[in-house]
Structure 1
Amino acid sequence: MRRVGPNAWAEIYFWGCNPGFVVTEDGVVMIDTPQQPMDAVRWRERLQEHGPIRHLINTEPHADHILGNAYYPGVEVVAQHEIRGRYEQAIPSMTSEERREAMKESDPDSVWLLGHPSYPPNPPTRTFEDELTLQVGRHTFHLVNLPGHTRQQTAVHVPEERVVYTGDNVFCRCKTFVQEADPWDWLDSLERIGRLDVDVIVPGHGEPCDHSYLSEQAGILRRWIDAVERLVDRGLTEDEAVKEPLDVASIDPYPLAQRLFEVWKHLDGVNVRNLYRRISARRQAAG
């Protein structure tokens, strides 16, 4: 666990995303959850040593950020309003037989917690569209929808701690996922993050960083756009573009992080497919 502010922490070693929390005079505010059930339960116990958990903020709808919600029963979940629908759509897969069988191999200690009656689904119940401010004790939590990695992507800025939790709009020195991203919105959001008066940026994956990494993150996105634009310019179909060999290391030189390698063996292909569709749609709209 990393201390990222006087009263703020992030955990960068769990399977999945980097969850974080802030300790206030009135309890704990969580940002995202551990993905694996046993990690989530143990982390809850650790956080409760600092006080009651008042809020759980989800920064995006992807599984590695929301699967742990169930293991915080009674905690209010706060999120951008579209995340609630995505969570509800994902409920059947959260306790599916497919996930159970996969977990027997990857995390057998957690299997018994899947679908446990003490831990029913816990979707967001407090939602917002563009921005929301929470005041907890003497701490302020500015939640801002910054589309990019997903349309629902949310940054959590805690000015008293001089920290922002960006979710997956920042992948610090690990492979960037653009499988459903709008890369142009993402670039705009990185500029907005860069204008925040903070000392520490907690990324969705990878080590905590500062403003200096944002230009590198933007460069990875621009190189992905350029690479797929060249495939479109050659007149390749979407399927042909996905199969076309790419020097991905020259686009994004970093490895997959946090044991995501088994889940995303075909990451480069889904990145290309998403960008191909978005580039084509953008050109069509421009006439």
Structure 2
Amino acid sequence: LPALLGAGATRTGLAPVARLTATAEHIAATRDPRHRIELPAGPPGREDEVTRLAGSFNTMLGELEQSVTAQRRLVADASHELRTPLTALRTNAELLARADRLSEAQRARASAALTRQLREVTGLVNDLIELARDEEPQPLLETVRIAALAEHSVEMARAHWPEVAFTLYVDDAAAGLGLPGVPSRLSRLLTNLLDNAAKFSPAGSAVDVALSTRELTVRDHGPGIAPEDLPYVFDRFYRAETARALPGSGLGLAMARQIARAHGAELTAEEGA
């Protein structure tokens, strides 16, 4: 009788371990992280070690599922976005292959279109590579002077967008502010924000950049963001209907938000008064 009771108690106590092992083996065989271990019902805060282990395993599976879903969505979105420019590239390449049948003006137009499309595809691929990076490598972190970085980014934006007036205001307390980060990535974040603001600003209008100890704001004076578009402006490949005729891939703000979060910050957008 003691042997039977001991075997039963052992089997009951190790049941969560058996379920954990079976779930792990199933995920390894199917590569599907959606499965979870069923946890025994009981009063919260009084779980045994095995139950807590199973709960931690479920949490890990949830994180893994989110990561796999994000990767699949990125691949699907990238495939969709690359299909059109690649088709245009192939068309122009085939057209230039028959250059002897084209006039000088036709060859020049086809060559210019091919160069422009190559540049767009190259930029899109580079943006996708940047988005595939989830975190900043720790050895690359260094103290970044945010005010100096903002000043440099604004100067670069002035050279790239001469028809837009960029103004920079730095709070006295933020003038010497230094934060740990990757300078090249933070510069990319600011460049994306400034380019986006300038792209939607009418010629002769201003883009205002303000830096305090708590936040950095970039404000343009363009048409603004429609309320129905506001929740999606940081989504990958999302482009408002009014912006689809403008150059760009819809990755700039998504990349900026990813860089901000990797540095422990948050990027938000709002409609100004």
The bucket for the TM-score relative to the shorter chain is: under 0.3
More strand by share: 1
Instruction: Provide the TM-score with structure 2 as the length reference.
Output: 0.22
Name the structure with the higher helix share: 2
Q: Which has the higher contact order (CA 8 A, sep 6+)?
A: 1
Structure exhibiting the larger radius of gyration computed from Cα positions: 2
The TM-score, its normalising length taken from structure 1, stands at 0.21
